Amino acid sequence: NAGVMQNPRHLVRRRGQEARLRCSPMKGHSHVYWYRQLPEEGLKFMVYLQKENIIDESGMPKERFSAEFPKEGPSILRIQQVVRGDSAAYFCASSSTISGGYTFGSGTRLTVV
């Protein structure tokens, strides 16, 4: 049973480009969470999704950021028109309603140049 799979591991984008980060939850997990980690900082909650539904997006910036978790396929965190301040590690986590608890992926390190 593979863990939470995130890809790519590293992503370099020029200012103004789009970044698409993918997350495949653990098998049997129906809840997906995205967190952002700035250097020397803790993780900050961005969004919580279940299949085809956004449950809590209170941590998402109002502009340029969007997330989805379609019926089929991985969850996608999309950042449009990236700026240098978007450079961070983005972590996805998944959980099931049965077991509870989070399992984090290894993250995507986004660098905006």
Partner 1 sequence: QQQVKQSPQSLIVQKGGISIINCAYENTAFDYFPWYQQFPGKGPALLIAIRPDVSEKKEGRFTISFNKSAKQFSLHIMDSQPGDSATYFCAASMGQGGSEKLVFGKGTKLTVNP
- Find the shortest distance in angstroms from Cβ 78 to partner 1: 20
CB 96 within 8 A of CB 28: yes
For residue 40, state whether it binds partner 1 (rule: CB under 8 A): yes
Q: Which residues pair with 11 in a beta bridge?
A: 110
In the numeric block, which tokens belong to residue 107?
Answer: 């993250």
Token output for 88: 């961070």
Interaction residues for partner 1, span 70-99 (CB under 8 A):
91, 93, 95-97, 99
In the list 19, 26, 43, 110, the residue contacting partner 1 (rule: CB under 8 A) is: 43
Residue 85 CB-density burial (10 A; 0-12 exposed, 13-18 middle, 19+ buried): exposed
Choose, by CB under 8 A, the member of 7, 17, 22, 59 that binds partner 1: 59
Establish if 52 lies at the interface with partner 1 (CB under 8 A).
Answer: no
Question: Six-digit token pair at 47?
Answer: 């969004």
- Binding region for partner 1 (CB under 8 A): 4, 31, 33, 35, 40-45, 48, 56, 58-59, 91, 93, 95-97, 99-107
